[in-house]
Amino acid sequence: MTAPKMRLAVLFGGKSAEHEVSLLSAHNVMASADPEKYEIVPIAIDKDGHWRHGPADVLVADPTDPAKVRVRKGFPEVVLPMGTGRPTLRRLSDGKSLGHVDCVFPVLHGPMGEDGTVQGLLSLADVPFVGSGVLGSAVSMDKDIAKRLLTEANLPNAPFLSVQRGEEERFSYPVVKKALGETVFVKPANLGSSVGVSKVRDEKTYRDALREALSFDTKVVVEKEIVGREVECSVLGNRDPIASVPGEIIPSHEFYSYEAKYLDEQGAKLIVPVELPEGQTKRLQEICLSAYRTLQCEGMARVDCFICADGEIFVNELNTLPGFTQISMYPRLWEATGISYPQLIDSLVDLALERHAERSGLRLSRASKEEEF
């Protein structure tokens, strides 16, 4: 007798500026999951924040075209009720059950998906989910907080200033130039995929960049330019994480922008794996694992770094829900390390179940186990 398939809900879309990237990633996850092991339950979050359920092949239109991909309209809105025992997906209009959910794979990028908000909701629903929990998701998403924690842990990262909306005059370009140098990067603190990111070298461009970044977030990180090779490692695990072989990104644009990542097929050259000097690969992997633990990550993360000409390694940022598109580095690095796409999905689901089982054994009150029952 064959074991029943696991009902794996793939949650994707969302209200962030990275909505389309999420749809592309989810298409690959659903197509790569072993059909002998999983019954995929697609849940698309449209740009208004409504959860929609339908067959994967019709719920998302143009799933491989970053310029056209979108969630189709007309599919029923669904909810995952809190505190119902075994998590059960229900249709919002009439409360009809659409079946239980064994695990959720959030394929979400950016605010209201990768920043701990959805992770909190799934924790309240008491359902296992792939990736970091509330804390790891939140601190990794906020570049300002992440950099403060990395610095506290003596992990080198680019010198920076944090600018809140309303502080633009206080952090004028002359102030920034004196503190960080002529060339800086201006980034929304809570966004990914290089959305809203600008490289600037003069006052006018800086003002425009600050205005652009603050249209996406109320806090901006201004970073000193680090000149070096852009290298990345994928990390997998909970208590005992492992790091993949490294890869290198060589952008053809000024930097690795959103367009270079997703719209321009020639936007960057990806070298997987990349050969590094003796001992440097191990050092890079150690730094990536230390950064992963410092930010309380679980399940997975892609750790982006710079290697300078003198061999010094700087941590750039951690992405707790990295891209799973056809060209995304996270799955490609694991394939180069010896873990296939289907095996990677299996490992991520196993890690989600492991963490949920561990947390389910924790006491929720001061009463003894006997008193609770």
Name the catalytic one among 133, 237, 247, 323. Answer: 323
Taken as a whole, the chain contains a residue count of 373
Closest CA to 302 of 284, 328, 320: 320
Name the catalytic one among 13, 14, 16, 18. Answer: 18
Name the catalytic one among 193, 257, 316, 347. Answer: 193
Which tokens sit at 36? Answer: 């002998």
302 is an active site residue: yes
Measured over the CA atoms of residue 99, residue 104, residue 109 and residue 114, the dihedral's sign is: positive
> 86: burial class by Cβ within 10 Å (0-12, 13-18, 19+)?
exposed
Name the catalytic one among 38, 173, 256, 262. Answer: 262
36 is an active site residue: no
Name the catalytic one among 7, 302, 332, 355. Answer: 302
Name the catalytic one among 173, 317, 328, 332. Answer: 317
193 is an active site residue: yes
Name the catalytic one among 198, 257, 319, 328. Answer: 319
34 is an active site residue: no
370 is an active site residue: no
Residues 6+ apart with CB under 8 A from 339: 236, 347
Identify the bridge partners of residue 164 per DSSP, sorted by sequence position.
219
Measured over the CA atoms of residue 169, residue 175, residue 181 and residue 187, the dihedral's sign is: negative
Q: Which residue type occupies 351?
A: L
38 is an active site residue: no
Name the catalytic one among 132, 142, 304, 341. Answer: 304
323 is an active site residue: yes
279 is an active site residue: no
Half-sphere exposure of 369 (CA within 13 A, CB side): 3
Look-up of token digits 């270079």:
260
Active-site amino acid positions: 18, 193, 262, 302, 304, 317, 319, 323
